[in-house]
A and B are shown apart, each in its own frame.
Chain A
Amino acid sequence: MTSICCSLFFVAASIPVPYIYTETPRYVDSGGARFPAGASLEIVENGRKRPLVPDFAASADAAVSFDGRTVLFSGKRKSGDPWQIWEVPVAGGAPRRIISFSEDAITPLYLPGDRVVYARRTPHGFQIETATLTGATPLRLTYAPGDHLVCDVLRDGRVLFEAPHPASAGRDLYTVYTDGSGVETHRCDHGRDRHAGRELASGDIIFELGDRLARFTSARATQVELPELAVDFIGPVAEISPDEWLVSSRSGALDRWRPAHGAPEVVWAQKGKYAVQPVLVRAHEVPKRHPSGLGDREGANLLCLNTYVSRSEEIPAGSVAAVRVSALVDSAPVVLGQAPVEKDGSFFIQIPSETAVRFELIDAVGKTITSEKGWFWARRGEQRVCVGCHAGPERAPENASPAVLLRTQEPVKMALPVHGGKQGTK
């Protein structure tokens, strides 16, 4: 967990686009409790700022609608309220409550089709959901333990989010479709504590990495680090124009930074306040809608083409005899069963849906060869396919008929334990 302290200077400048930021006396850069001393959204136009929702006890997490006219935010009308999701016109007017929970709901973003995505507090950490703009038909997208916080909605229609990752020494960036299917880490090089990702107009994703920024580009399987500066950045970046960004620094200031032109320029700083989470108030492209292909089936099917394909370790050829599947049940791992792995490394299983699961590869005597460190899930009716075990998104599949499908078209079923009973392979 990292927190930043107050600075004692006051500078005012302007950028050509109105913007909103979250002003706070203290910002904790970890999980859901980010503003322990309160926060308020401020909108800046022509160098003048005003509170976006002056009647609120707390407000944060601004997200501007695709047409640039309204703002989603998380807010507390009264100080004792939980954080909830609201919408307010940029031009002013009464905020409209979208989500009414007894738990906190934060980090909202607009989705195409008049829906929103946000993170909701649960006993297992913040989990991501979508709902309509009236709060109806909520749909949970994430099912692994830990805080899952929405970072951005990518133009390809996927939700970019941050969540814990055991190989990342903290958080990593993941993507998931808006029906909760297809969850995966965006890249598999797993750097240290990646979070606060935002997509740029180029399609690159820029994110915070410790106290500096890095980016993912389409062409590379690993992150590209940005020039190291004396300034430490924190939180998400707002893109003013290609290669010109509005960024928050750990000093509390809001900076305009053009990486090609050296050091950042302070555009806003206020004594005793921190300006974080900048967003520009302007229309922007509507992401593509994801046409859900979930079928009407029990559980989810998972086909792995070749367990021996892995970017992280060498798995001796012919060593894998079976895959063992565990699920997280009542916060404890439970072995659901195991399925044979074919000579070509393929296996085909049915796993329980909406449940955190993970795999181990085992040899002929049941000894673990390698095991998954984190958890993932699949949705009901999802048909998941993967190249190998931690093959990485850069690895396209080899075009070969999986041996398991030549033997059978029926997956080995793994079911959750019946209450009080033991569970095995069906």
Chain B
Amino acid sequence: MRWAALWLAFCAVSRATVPVAAVRYPSPIELAITPDGLRLYVLCEGTDEVVAYDLPSGAVCRRIAVGRVPKGMMLTPDAKRLYVANSWSDNVSEIDTASLEVVRTLPAGFEPNAVVTDRAQRFLYVANRISNDVSVVDLATGLESKRLLAGRGASYLALSPDGSRVYCTHIYPKITTFRATPESEITVIDAARQMVADRYGLRNAAGVFHIAVSADGRLGMAAEMRPKNLIPLAHVEHGWVIGNSISLFGDDVGGVVQIPIDELDRYYTPPFDIVLTPDKSTAYVSTTGSDSVTVIDVRRLLAFVKTLSPAERSGVANDLSASANYVAARIPVGQGPKGMALAPDGKRLYVANRTGDTISIVETASRRVTGELSLGAPAANEQRRGERLFYKAAFAFHGHFGCANCHIEGTFDGLSWDLEPDGFGKDYVDNRLLEDIADTAPFKWNGSNPNLETECGPRTEKYFYRSESYDGWQLEDLVSFIKSMPLRPNRYRSAELTPAQERGKAIFERTRRKDGKPIPALNQCAVCHSGAHYTDQKLHDVGTGKPTDRSPLIDVPQLTNIALTAPYLHDGSARTLEEIWTVFNPNDTHGVTNDLQKDELNDLIEYLKTL
């Protein structure tokens, strides 16, 4: 007993030796390699920098400070310029690769996530995740010349090899009618005219990441998830929760074909980056939660697709045995693999292990990791350990998914799910943003989970993962990470409220109707949506319950960064903030709003966006 106590005490000390706060981890997320193969640029979102490696020596040449939380990077074909999308700074850093200095800062929309230039380097395209568009920046003037509407959560870009097209994907599905099939798109931009030329529909896709185009321009590949949110989440096996898939497009396949990369008893999730070899023989797909890279034999893949009938083409994404026809290997790499870069001679593949803070060097001939570049990260503290768990899929049955599959990069997936324990077709749940939730207990819309330990521990194990998951310490780490998730900047809030926001604030805080009659306290916005997070953390019946809900009582949701998180209401039935009042509040039970005009509701929305 004494030894056990000493051991526990030792462990507790060991686990506490790394300070929790003020530790920054590089978190490499994207890579770029020079055409001569001598230099590797590593984009580190955790330390706001680009780390330039001299590959022959493996030494760091320079650490180049950029903006906050950089997410995307592009090296121009002449290797003279490096562009970095700074997601929290809402701008782009232009780096001169000769001096390794930032020489210019360019404008972007809300939360720029990826950058690409046209071939002539006249225009820079920036995918903006929050403003759901693509900025076109004139590189001669350094000014943004136009915005192109892209998919929701526009995040990744690719230029076709002939320079004629820019492709853009997005991580959140389009907002459609309640419980409709998720839809995403590849936005095709005509690079000559800087206009949207086409939108390729990706049916049942939600969470589309990197896109790659073959050197001959005939094959495009986009990494995506295909969620199963419309059926009850009653088990995990047989691809019941998420399909991990690649959307193929281009002349080689004709139209869009979604193909799976999973197997019957193992899952490779979520697919993030895709690298196609110049000869189009091989595609490498990083799968972040599975700590691996999937190798696809592209020739076999194309031959397989050619054998499919039209009906089979539309259904092959659900055939877990299909991947045996084209997956050549699975390569274990470091923790949380994200962006990749292939050496110009094709002999090495570099893989950024985001939560492992390393770069795996894969020898492509043997398909094995033969080396590693370290980014000199500090020892992992409990939050970092928790972050690794958050992204890891190994805890779910057959490694099917992890927290981050639905809470994409800590956010949400824009989907409404049918969870099992309450019965089938009941208590639909709108997925929520995880930032700033530490002090907002209870959890789940019916308040059934008193704390995050319950939510992430036994509930997740039993009803999501359906397999033995976190031990006590791991759960502690995971919860610590979730509680520590930084809150992204609010783009709508400035030092002073605008007049419209001021008017909206007055409506939010009003105690009387427009006709002067008092509004009961529990029907005033600011009473239930009160406190630091705009929630009183209590259950109320505000009349938004549905016949399929077991209880009309709703845990008051926090309103932090509410503008980002459509759809709304507990089940995701309101597509916009306005619909909360114009569709789902006919009797003024969810605040008094029926005496408001359209412009007054607009004012209220403008204010809510600042919270």
Q: Which residues of A contact B (CB under 8 A)?
A: 112, 156-157, 182, 203, 218-222, 288-293, 295, 301, 303, 305, 348, 383-385, 387, 393-402, 405-406, 408-409
Write 12 A-B pairs (CB below 8 A) sorted by A numbering. A203-B266, A293-B462, A293-B463, A303-B424, A393-B238, A396-B228, A396-B319, A397-B238, A398-B204, A399-B229, A400-B231, A409-B423
Residue of B nearest to A177 (CB): B466
Question: In the bound complex, what is the Cα–Cα distance between A171 and B320 (angstroms)?
Answer: 25
Indicate if the CB atoms of B468 and A405 lie closer than 8 Å.
no
Indicate if the CB atoms of B424 and A396 lie closer than 8 Å.
no
**Chain B residues near A387 (CB, 8 Å)?**
238
Which chain B residues numbered 245 to 270 have a C-beta less than 8 Å away from chain A? 260, 262-266
**Chain B residues near A292 (CB, 8 Å)?**
462
Residue of A nearest to B327 (CB): A219
Output the least CB separation between A340 and chain B (Å).
16
**Chain A residues near B398 (CB, 8 Å)?**
156
Output the least CB separation between B329 and chain A (Å).
11
Please pick, from A291, A399, A400, A409, the residue contacting B227 in the complex, using a CB distance under 8 A.
A399
Indicate if the CB atoms of B182 and A399 lie closer than 8 Å.
yes
Output the least CB separation between B152 and chain A (Å).
18
Contact A291 B458, CB 8 Å, known A393-B238, A405-B425: yes
Question: In the bound complex, what is the Cα–Cα distance between A387 and B320 (angstroms)?
Answer: 13
Cβ-based interface call for B179 (8 A): yes
Residue of B nearest to A113 (CB): B468
Output the least CB separation between A341 and chain B (Å).
16
Please pick, from B234, B423, B469, B548, the residue contacting A384 in the complex, using a CB distance under 8 A.
B234
Contact A395 B462, CB 8 Å, known A288-B467, A291-B468, A401-B179: no
Question: In the bound complex, what is the Cα–Cα distance between A374 and B243 (angstroms)?
Answer: 30
Indicate if the CB atoms of A400 and B181 lie closer than 8 Å.
yes
Output the least CB separation between A349 and chain B (Å).
11
Contact A397 B424, CB 8 Å, known A291-B461, A291-B468: no
Residue of A nearest to B204 (CB): A399
Indicate if the CB atoms of A394 and B467 lie closer than 8 Å.
no
- Could you mark each residue 162-188 of chain B with 1 if its beta carbon is under 8 Å from any beta carbon of chain A, else 0? 000000000000000001011000000
Contact A397 B321, CB 8 Å, known A220-B264, A409-B426: no
Indicate if the CB atoms of A394 and B321 lie closer than 8 Å.
yes
Contact A397 B423, CB 8 Å, known A290-B467, A291-B458, A387-B238: no
Output the least CB separation between B162 and chain A (Å).
35
Indicate if the CB atoms of B263 and A219 lie closer than 8 Å.
yes
Contact A383 B232, CB 8 Å, known A288-B468, A399-B181: yes
Question: In the bound complex, what is the Cα–Cα distance between A409 and B229 (angstroms)?
Answer: 17
**Chain A residues near B204 (CB, 8 Å)?**
398-399
Output the least CB separation between B74 and chain A (Å).
34
Please pick, from B179, B264, B461, the residue contacting A218 in the complex, using a CB distance under 8 A.
B264
Output the least CB separation between A240 and chain B (Å).
23
Which chain B residues numbered 176 to 204 have a C-beta less than 8 Å away from chain A? 179, 181-182, 204
Indicate if the CB atoms of B230 and A385 lie closer than 8 Å.
no
**Chain B residues near A293 (CB, 8 Å)?**
420-421, 462-463, 466
Contact A303 B232, CB 8 Å, known A219-B327, A387-B238: yes
Cβ-based interface call for B91 (8 A): no
Contact A383 B234, CB 8 Å, known A291-B468, A409-B423, A409-B426: yes
Cβ-based interface call for B240 (8 A): yes
**Chain A residues near B243 (CB, 8 Å)?**
396
Please pick, from B231, B418, B463, the residue contacting A397 in the complex, using a CB distance under 8 A.
B231
Which chain B residues numbered 309 to 335 have a C-beta less than 8 Å away from chain A? 315, 317-321, 323-324, 327
Cβ-based interface call for B226 (8 A): yes
Cβ-based interface call for B397 (8 A): yes
Question: In the bound complex, what is the Cα–Cα distance between A398 and B548 (angstroms)?
Answer: 22
Indicate if the CB atoms of B467 and A395 lie closer than 8 Å.
no
Indicate if the CB atoms of A385 and B264 lie closer than 8 Å.
no
Contact A409 B264, CB 8 Å, known A156-B397, A157-B468, A395-B320: no
Contact A397 B466, CB 8 Å, known A156-B397, A348-B424, A383-B424: no
Question: In the bound complex, what is the Cα–Cα distance between A397 and B468 (angstroms)?
Answer: 24
Question: In the bound complex, what is the Cα–Cα distance between A101 and B212 (angstroms)?
Answer: 64
Indicate if the CB atoms of A219 and B264 lie closer than 8 Å.
yes
Question: In the bound complex, what is the Cα–Cα distance between A393 and B227 (angstroms)?
Answer: 18
**Chain B residues near A385 (CB, 8 Å)?**
231-232, 234-235, 240
Contact A291 B548, CB 8 Å, known A394-B264, A394-B321, A396-B318: no
- Could you mark each residue 475-516 of chain B with 1 if its beta carbon is under 8 Å from any beta carbon of chain A, else 0? 000000000000000000000000000000000000000000
Indicate if the CB atoms of B240 and A397 lie closer than 8 Å.
yes
Cβ-based interface call for B239 (8 A): yes
| 6 tightest Cβ-Cβ pairs between the two chains A and B | A396-B239, A405-B425, A221-B321, A218-B265, A394-B321, A219-B324
- Could you mark each residue 334-373 of chain B with 1 if its beta carbon is under 8 Å from any beta carbon of chain A, else 0? 0000000000000000000000000000000000000000
Cβ-based interface call for B600 (8 A): no
Residue of B nearest to A346 (CB): B231
Question: In the bound complex, what is the Cα–Cα distance between A222 and B327 (angstroms)?
Answer: 17
Question: In the bound complex, what is the Cα–Cα distance between A402 and B315 (angstroms)?
Answer: 17
Cβ-based interface call for B237 (8 A): yes
Most buried by A among B182, B323, B324: B324
Question: In the bound complex, what is the Cα–Cα distance between A307 and B243 (angstroms)?
Answer: 21
Output the least CB separation between B383 and chain A (Å).
26
Output the least CB separation between A393 and chain B (Å).
5
Indicate if the CB atoms of A401 and B230 lie closer than 8 Å.
yes
Residue of B nearest to A297 (CB): B423
Contact A221 B264, CB 8 Å, known A291-B468, A393-B320: yes
Output the least CB separation between A58 and chain B (Å).
36
Contact A395 B424, CB 8 Å, known A288-B468, A291-B466, A402-B231: no
Indicate if the CB atoms of A218 and B263 lie closer than 8 Å.
yes
**Chain A residues near B229 (CB, 8 Å)?**
399
**Chain B residues near A295 (CB, 8 Å)?**
421
Question: In the bound complex, what is the Cα–Cα distance between A231 and B423 (angstroms)?
Answer: 53
**Chain A residues near B265 (CB, 8 Å)?**
156, 203, 218
Question: In the bound complex, what is the Cα–Cα distance between A189 and B548 (angstroms)?
Answer: 39
Question: In the bound complex, what is the Cα–Cα distance between A264 and B266 (angstroms)?
Answer: 31
Indicate if the CB atoms of B318 and A398 lie closer than 8 Å.
yes
Question: In the bound complex, what is the Cα–Cα distance between A408 and B425 (angstroms)?
Answer: 8
Indicate if the CB atoms of B234 and A303 lie closer than 8 Å.
yes
**Chain B residues near A397 (CB, 8 Å)?**
228, 231, 238-240, 318
Indicate if the CB atoms of A291 and B318 lie closer than 8 Å.
no
**Chain B residues near A291 (CB, 8 Å)?**
458, 461-462, 465-469
**Chain B residues near A400 (CB, 8 Å)?**
181, 230-231
Contact A396 B458, CB 8 Å, known A220-B324, A221-B321, A384-B234: no
Indicate if the CB atoms of A393 and B237 lie closer than 8 Å.
yes
Output the least CB separation between A217 and chain B (Å).
8
Question: In the bound complex, what is the Cα–Cα distance between A383 and B233 (angstroms)?
Answer: 10
Question: In the bound complex, what is the Cα–Cα distance between A182 and B237 (angstroms)?
Answer: 10
- Could you mark each residue 450-475 of chain B with 1 if its beta carbon is under 8 Å from any beta carbon of chain A, else 0? 00000000100111011111000000
Question: In the bound complex, what is the Cα–Cα distance between A220 and B264 (angstroms)?
Answer: 7
**Chain A residues near B319 (CB, 8 Å)?**
394-396
Output the least CB separation between B467 and chain A (Å).
5
Question: In the bound complex, what is the Cα–Cα distance between A402 and B266 (angstroms)?
Answer: 26
Question: In the bound complex, what is the Cα–Cα distance between A385 and B235 (angstroms)?
Answer: 7
**Chain B residues near A221 (CB, 8 Å)?**
264, 320-321
